[in-house]
Chains A and B, each alone.
Chain A
Amino acid sequence: MSANGWFQIGLFLLVIFLITKPLGVFLARVFSGQRTFLDPVLRPIEKLIYRLTGINEKHEMRWTEYAIAMLLFSGVSMAVLYLIERTQKFFPLNPQKFANLEPGLAFGTAASFTTNTNWQAYSGESTMSYLTQMAGLAYHNFASAAVGIAVAVAVIRGIARKETDKLGNFWVDTTRCLLWVLLPICLVGSLVFVSQGVIQNLRPYTTVELIEPQTVQVTSADGKTTKQTVTQQIIAQGPVASQEVIKEFGTNGGGFFGANSAHPFENPTPFSNFFQVVLIFAIPSALTYTLGRMTGSQRHGWAVWAAMAVLFLAGITTAYWAEARGNPQLVGINQTQSMVQSGGNMEGKEVRFGIANSALFATVTTDASCGAINGQHDSFTPIGGMVPLINIMLGEVVFGGVGAGLYGIVVFVILAVFIAGLMVGRTPEYLGKKIESYDVKMAMLAILILTFTILGFSAFAIIKPFGTSSISNPGPHGLSQVLYAYVSSAGNNGSAFGGLSVNTMWYNTSTAVAQLLGRFFMIIPVLAIAGSLAKKRIVPESVGTFPVTGGLFAGLLVATIVIVGALTFFPALSLGPILEHLLMAAGKAF
């Protein structure tokens, strides 16, 4: 670890802290229908959308209608994406003449992008036409992010409002999020990326002549190796920057290319890398301020932020430490950090990012439900790779996905005040609302569905040949690979231990089901909680009220998250990464 590495990490957290308030205020204004400086341009477009689609912006929805509208939009847009993937060869903007996707992969990908997971069983540069990337995949980066934020806003309204059954209008929230929040930053941000070297064009792939032709060994399907001379390099092109920015800002994570943000055309410089991690945390962090502002308790918003920051720091410290130590089994190699090399475990990492920025990216992308990667998590050290795994297992509430992080943390807040209530023997309250059995049941339902999905699918896959045959790294790491696949799917993250061969019928289908369960069986209970809270009266604060502000509450919240996560997943972790770490230290390989 180096001072410069820590300086970058510290600066990152400072930048996130500084944008939390201004962006949080802006979000609150947008979703309260207040004027913003963008209104003169965007208001006419908003009205046009409402007229074309038949949305009545005055109409307010109960939680059930809100949920139904959300499900219908997700269902319809998912079907459209499936159709685009299945028919891409009949459309223009396909210079490489890619074929239509087969049904399993098309379904898996459609589920994955609709649920903001962006799990990828394909490599973009050899599968998807430019039209599919733009109108299918990048579009869902916008849509699924807006849906997540809309749900979070409905949940905040549920906490803030009293004695009503209305949570707002799903279509209006989604539209305003798309136009006011996502579009402006993406227009500016995509050009910032292009200025750094992220490509943005519609050209066919470029063929270049190698300076030095190479003789390579090629293994054919029947196992024969032949020597071939390679004289050319085919450089993939495409409209990358416009997708890159929403990939991060909407915590989607689906790369234009197979290598995702490790690819020089997606993430060419350390500056573009820094911009990416800031974009990932921007909205999730700001939403804590929006929560405080809309519920009238700014200190509660900051207490939640502080709990998240503590968990973030714990993750990055562990990951950075583990990766900087390197791999003890690589002998005769200089892995020491210095002014002229980053050292550490460089397998699967890029020189321009080094250890600090690879560990930071891995932590941030899994704290949030982003799933973009700038280094291969599969090649991380056991402990370094366990950090992303744990981050997702905790429910991605460390800032979390756009919207998803906020409604996820609300579930844990409800549990925390419930536990505090049990300890002092009073009815738990949350910002003046009594937390009753229905609310706690719904909160537990959300947590249990996530747990069952992850552990159920992993356990099943690990005893079946069609599950284990996809494993590429033998030993305890193989269990980590399978576990990561379902953790990432159910958590709607989308990053992977990429060695696992997931483009199979079993993995395409089972991960898609895990993604749909993890997305919608989280959102529905959470909206139910919001609907229930909105109906309640405000109980005046008394001396016996457990405060949801300050250090004590933040500490209790952190403890709740960690204990729930640890009790659920420690056995699985001890057989995967922890065992691998001990065996690696003992000099074992598989």
Chain B
Amino acid sequence: MKKNLLIAIWFTLVTTVIFGLIYPLAVTAVAQLLFRDRANGQLIERNGKLVGSRIIGQAFTGPGYFHPRPSAAGTGYDPTASGGSNLAPTNKNLLERVRADVQKLRAENPNAAIPVDLVTTSGSGLDPDISPEAAEFQIPRVATSRNMKQEDLRALVQKHTKGRDLGFLGEPRVNVLELNLELDSFRDGR
């Protein structure tokens, strides 16, 4: 008993040094060497300012931008408070929230069915993507607001649509931040 207690104390200390300090620090060093950009969160710079991370969603509400999904992280897309709404499918608050969003979206584009991902919050509250269907749904609004042709926008969405990984893993998706940044550069360029 006493012998095993002593071992337990020393064993905890020694293995904490190996697995709690040396291991993560070694991985950090190698990761910073091999994949510097990815290890640091794929930050995007525009005009000398950091404007976001490629894989963390950001809120957009103006008519000239593609909108991401609703977010339950903090006041919306807050990476220091990641998480979902945790509303049950039978919770009235969920049904009411969706009903309000449906009304808003129907006014924007009365001709198409509303894709489910546009009215549901993600698990992280930071989902960087929308489905290609959800991007297509927003094309008329963005086109009107930016005075652009729908075909041009469709080509741009196509360009930012990522297929399934290796052709079969996951789902096709459109990165909202990257798409909107290109939209802005389009305007700045002209």
A234 and chain B: residue at smallest CB distance: B80
Give A145 Cβ to nearest chain B Cβ, in Å. 11
Say yes or no: B123 contacts A374, CB within 8 Å. Answer: yes
CA distance A200 to B30 in the complex (A): 10
List the 6 closest A-B pairs by CB distance, nearest first: A270-B170, A262-B123, A135-B20, A499-B86, A376-B84, A354-B171
Which single member of B7, B32, B49 contacts A54 (CB below 8 Å)?
Answer: B7
Question: What 0/1 readout, one digit per residue, does chain B (1-41) give for beta carbons within 8 Å of chain A?
Answer: 10111111111101110111101101110111011001111
Which single member of A208, A259, A270, A330 contacts B165 (CB below 8 Å)?
Answer: A270
Give A488 Cβ to nearest chain B Cβ, in Å. 14
Give B129 Cβ to nearest chain A Cβ, in Å. 4
Give A118 Cβ to nearest chain B Cβ, in Å. 16
Q: Which residues of chain B are within 8 angstroms of A143 by Cβ–Cβ distance?
A: 12, 15, 19
Which single member of A72, A211, A352 contacts B129 (CB below 8 Å)?
Answer: A352
Say yes or no: A194 contacts B11, CB within 8 Å. Answer: no
Which single member of A190, A273, A342 contacts B131 (CB below 8 Å)?
Answer: A342
Say yes or no: B27 contacts A241, CB within 8 Å. Answer: yes
Which single member of A138, A205, A333, A345 contacts B20 (CB below 8 Å)?
Answer: A138
Q: Which residues of chain A are within 8 angstroms of B134 by Cβ–Cβ distance?
A: 341
Instruction: Decide yes or no: A349 and B30 within 8 Å by CB, A194-B38, A589-B95 being known contacts.
Output: no
Q: Which of A308-316, A471-479, A516-524, A560-568 lines the interface with chain B?
A: A471-479
Give A556 Cβ to nearest chain B Cβ, in Å. 37
Say yes or no: B114 contacts A334, CB within 8 Å. Answer: yes
Say yes or no: A379 contacts B41, CB within 8 Å. Answer: no
Say yes or no: A346 contacts B120, CB within 8 Å. Answer: yes
Say yes or no: A338 contacts B133, CB within 8 Å. Answer: yes
Which single member of A236, A338, A497 contacts B80 (CB below 8 Å)?
Answer: A236
Say yes or no: A126 contacts B81, CB within 8 Å. Answer: yes
Say yes or no: A330 contacts B4, CB within 8 Å. Answer: no
CA distance A208 to B53 in the complex (A): 8
Q: Which residues of chain A are within 8 angstroms of B87 by Cβ–Cβ distance?
A: 347, 378-379, 472-473, 499
Q: Is A285 at the interface (CB under 8 A from chain B)? A: no
Say yes or no: A211 contacts B50, CB within 8 Å. Answer: no
Say yes or no: A237 contacts B27, CB within 8 Å. Answer: no
Say yes or no: A473 contacts B171, CB within 8 Å. Answer: no
A269 and chain B: residue at smallest CB distance: B165
Interface residues of A in 1-16 (CB under 8 A from B): 4, 7-8, 11
Interface size class of B (residues with CB under 8 A): 35 or more
Say yes or no: A498 contacts B83, CB within 8 Å. Answer: yes
User: In the complex, which of the residues B8, B56, B177 has the most CB atoms of chain A within 10 Å of its own CB atom?
Assistant: B8
Q: Which residues of chain B are within 8 angstroms of A178 by Cβ–Cβ distance?
A: 15, 18-19
Which single member of A4, A257, A357, A584 contacts B82 (CB below 8 Å)?
Answer: A257
| Known A178-B18, A211-B184, A218-B75; further 4 A-B contacts with Cβ < 8 A | A73-B11, A214-B76, A236-B82, A350-B127
Q: Is A319 at the interface (CB under 8 A from chain B)? A: no
Instruction: Decide yes or no: A201 and B39 within 8 Å by CB, A142-B15, A230-B75, A333-B114 being known contacts.
Output: yes
Interface residues of A in 131-153 (CB under 8 A from B): 134-136, 138-139, 142-143
Q: Which of A74-82, A418-426, A452-460, A541-549 lines the interface with chain B?
A: A74-82
A198 and chain B: residue at smallest CB distance: B38
Q: Is B108 at the interface (CB under 8 A from chain A)? A: no
Instruction: Decide yes or no: A258 and B83 within 8 Å by CB, A7-B168, A8-B169 being known contacts.
Output: yes
